[in-house]
Amino acid sequence: MLQTGSNIFSFGNARPVDQNGDYKIDANNDRVIIGSKDPKYIFGMTNNFNYKNFELTFFVYGKMGYLYDTGGENEGAKGSQRSINYYNDNNINSEYQKPIYSAGTGDAYYPILGYRNGSFLKMRNISLGYHFDKDLVQNLGLSKLRIYFQVNNPGMVFTKVKWTDLDTQTTASNRGITLGLNVGF
């Protein structure tokens, strides 16, 4: 076991690498840049497809090339903890260290396991509409009539972090559904 001060590493704990080989974990000599929390690319695309009287419109948004800091896992909020792939004797190739039930005790380095590829592509809006024929619309005394169905924030197309919405950075869903009618006189 590697010992630094009062911290003793054991099987299942997060274990930082002693980069300079001096047998001490030191913030000045053992840090390694693994990436950036700022995305290299932020993009969006909207498109509109028309076929006969139907219209399909969508908007996708994404960020690529950055790290998202999940903060690690310490099992501190046992009542609301999500299911995680943590270390135990039967799961030695886990994603996270063994459970820690109090952030003040146990593994002081658990946050180093919290960085994930934050790249994502999200469908922010999709809408399907139908434009009624001009003859029918004019017989009703209108200049145009369109019915549409729209979903705001239907979900992720691609993400490595499945348990949170990286666009809003919350676990809450902000999805909305609209059924609408456009009328012109």
- Flag whether 88 is in a domain: no
- Assigned domain for 103 exists: no
Alpha-carbon torsion, ordered 145, 149, 150, 156, to 10 deg = -150
- What is the rounded CA–CA span in Å between residue 56 and residue 128? 5
Determine contact, residues 124/63, Cβ cutoff 8 Å: no
Burial letters 124-159, b for 16+ CB under 10 A, else e: bbbbebebeeeeebeeeeeeebbebebbebbebeeb
Mapping DSSP onto H, E and C, the string for 97-135 reads: CCCCCCCCCCCCCHHHHCEEECCEEEEEEEEEEEECCHH
Residue 162 located in a structural domain: yes
Task: Say how far residue 87 (Cα) sits from the centre of its chain.
Answer: 23
**52-68 residue pLDDT tens:** 999 999 999 999 999 99
Look at 100 and 119; give whichever has higher pLDDT: 119
Is 136 domain-assigned? yes
> Mean pLDDT across the stretch 7-24?
77
Percent of the chain with pLDDT over 70: 84
Helix (H) or strand (E) holding 138, with range, is helix 134-139
**Structural domain span for residue 183:** 34-68+117-185
Number of domains in the chain: 1
Please indicate, yes or no, if residue 139 is contained in any of the structural domains: yes
27 lies in some domain = no
Residue 81 lies in a domain: no
Whether 6 has a pLDDT exceeding 60, the answer reads no
Flag whether 156 is in a domain. yes
Residue 142 has pLDDT above 60, yes or no: yes
Tokens of 146: 């369109």
